[in-house]
Structure 1
Amino acid sequence: MVSLNSIEERDVSGGKGSTAHFVWRCGLCKRESSAKFEPGEKPKPYSADANGQFLPFLTLDCRGLEFIGFDPRGIWKCVGAESGTVFSEVDLEEGEWVDYDEKSSLPVGVSNFESQWARA
C-alpha cells in the first residue's frame, strides 16, 4: 500500500523542476513512475442525492503506474443532509461510520464504502 499527500511534493528525475506527490522507482529496471494531484483541484463532495452511484472524487495525473484501490484512512468530514450538522471526526477505516444527528433526530452514517478507479 502507498499513500499520497497533496501537500508534500517530491522531485521527478528527467525534468527541470518537475515534481509529483508520489514518486516510485522500480528496484529491478530503475524506471521511475509518478502521480500528481491536479493543480488547485479539491476532492468533490459526495451527497445522498448520488443514490449509491459512483461519482468522480478526485483526479490524479499518473505516469507509468495505475492505482487499483482506495483506502479511506484518516479523518473525514460529513454533513447531515437534513440539518447541515457537521461531523468533523469521521473515521472510515472500517468502511462504515454511524452517529446520531441531534438537530434532525435521525441516525446518520456511511456504509458499504466502495471505490473505483477510471481513466479520465
Structure 2
Amino acid sequence: MLKGVEYLHAQWILHRDLKPNNLFLSSTGVVKIGDFGLARHFAASPSRPMTHQVATRWYRAPELFYGCTQYGVGIDMWAVGCIIAEFLLRVPLFPADCDLSQLAKIFEVSYHT
C-alpha cells in the first residue's frame, strides 16, 4: 500500500479516498489500490481550490472537516495511518456516525496522548 501511495504522489496524484475497501490483494499477494473516482492531479503549490467533501468519513483528515480546500499528500497519509491502525487493531480507529462525532473521536485521542 505504501509503495502504491508513494507512486501516486510521485505522479502528483492524490487518491482522496483511501480505505480498506479500496485496497485489493492480487493473486501474487501484492496490494493494489483501486477506485480512483475521487483522485485528482495536484501541484507542488496548489493553484486552484479542491473540494473538502472527499474521503470516507472514518479515514478523512481533520482539516477536511473544517472545509480546507488547499491540501496535499497529507490527506492521503492520514488515511494510510488510519488504515494501518485498523489492520493492527482489527477495528476502525475512528468510527463515527457524523462529522462532528468524527472530530470528537480524533480530538479525544489527541487529548489523551
TM-score for the superposition, normalised by structure 2: 0.25
Q: Taking CA–CA contacts closer than 8 Å with sequence separation of 6 or more, which of the two structures ends up with the larger relative contact order?
A: 2
Higher strand share: 1
Higher helix share: 2
The structure whose Rg is larger is 1
TM-score for the superposition, normalised by structure 1: 0.24
